[in-house]
């Protein structure tokens, strides 16, 4: 008996989230600028000219938001037949990363790192996961591994019956919606 092949695709909203270390002078300067009317969008726009967010020293995440939806296709040779659309999946594990606060007091500064959290929101498809099964795919056996950040919760991994599936970003296709950045302190 030949195995059945499936593709699970993440579609909807998501994006990129990078957390990079900066210095206290940068935090002080942007605290003043934000108080004087500049916005998180202004900060993000200025940062994209001088920071490589793909080379983040603390965290880089690319994926759909946890509340996005998934489609499931059965693969027959070169053809893909949609068998489920707009399904939401349960989270089986979640890790929290780089929780930071923006208010600065002596307790936070002592032993904490000044950081910038950059987020580029996007819409589109955020990856495909392929699986081969003896039987039909069971939706309740698909679960998510997520990363919770200051910006939001992102899909990091997909599991089938507890087994990690490898993501394929080759055909990911997204377009930008907006970008923003936040300054803060990483409590070490």
The answer, yes or no, to whether residue 36 has pLDDT greater than 60, is: yes
When pLDDT is cut at 50, 70 and 90, the band that residue 37 belongs to is very high
Q: Which helix (H) or strand (E) covers residue 24, if one does? A: helix 24-35
pTM for this predicted structure: 0.80
Alpha-carbon distance of 139 to 160, in angstroms, equals 9
| 123 in Cβ contact with 177 (< 8 Å) | yes
Q: Which helix (H) or strand (E) covers residue 43, if one does? A: helix 40-47
Strand segments, DSSP code E, in the chain are 4-21, 59-64, 69-76, 79-87, 90-96, 100-101, 112-133, 142-148, 153-160, 163-165, 167-168, 173-187
Look at residue 82 in the predicted model and tell me its pLDDT: 94
When pLDDT is cut at 50, 70 and 90, the band that residue 8 belongs to is very high
Give percent above pLDDT 90 in the chain: 34
Residue 30 — φ and ψ, nearest 5°? Answer: -75, -25
The answer, yes or no, to whether residue 50 has pLDDT greater than 70, is: no
| 33 in Cβ contact with 160 (< 8 Å) | no
The answer, yes or no, to whether residue 187 has pLDDT greater than 80, is: no
The answer, yes or no, to whether residue 102 has pLDDT greater than 80, is: no
When pLDDT is cut at 50, 70 and 90, the band that residue 56 belongs to is low
The larger pLDDT score, comparing residue 113 to residue 166, is at 166
Half-sphere exposure of 99 (CA within 13 A, CB side): 4
Taking the domains of the chain in order of start, what are their residue ranges? Answer: 4-187
Sheet holding 90-96, edge to edge: 90-96, 142-148, 153-160, 163-165
The answer, yes or no, to whether residue 132 has pLDDT greater than 60, is: yes
The SS3 of residue 136 is coil
Give mean pLDDT, residues 89-118: 68
When pLDDT is cut at 50, 70 and 90, the band that residue 163 belongs to is very high
Most confident of 41-55, 98-112, 149-163: 149-163
The SS3 of residue 35 is helix
Look at residue 90 in the predicted model and tell me its pLDDT: 78
Considering the chain, what is the average pLDDT of its residues? 84
């Amino acid at each position: 008996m030949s195995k059945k092949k499936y593709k699970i695709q993440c579609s909807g909203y998501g994006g990129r989230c990078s957390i990079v270390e900066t210095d206290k002078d940068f935090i002080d300067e942007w605290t003043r600028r934000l108080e004087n009317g500049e916005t998180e969008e202004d900060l993000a726009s200025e940062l994209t000219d001088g920071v490589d967010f793909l080379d983040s020293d603390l965290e880089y995440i690319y994926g759909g938001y946890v509340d996005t939806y998934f489609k499931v296709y059965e693969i027959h040779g070169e053809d893909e037949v949609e068998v489920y659309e707009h399904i939401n999946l349960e989270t089986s594990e979640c890790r929290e990363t780089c929780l930071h606060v923006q208010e600065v007091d002596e307790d936070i500064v002592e032993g904490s790192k000044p950081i910038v959290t950059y987020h580029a929101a996007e819409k589109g498809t955020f990856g495909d996961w392929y699986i081969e099964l003896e039987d039909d795919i069971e939706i309740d056996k698909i679960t998510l591994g997520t990363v919770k950040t200051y910006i939001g919760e992102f899909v990091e991994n997909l599991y089938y019956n507890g087994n990690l599936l490898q993501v394929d970003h080759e055909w990911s296709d997204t377009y930008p919606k907006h970008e923003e950045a936040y300054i803060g302190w990483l409590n070490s």
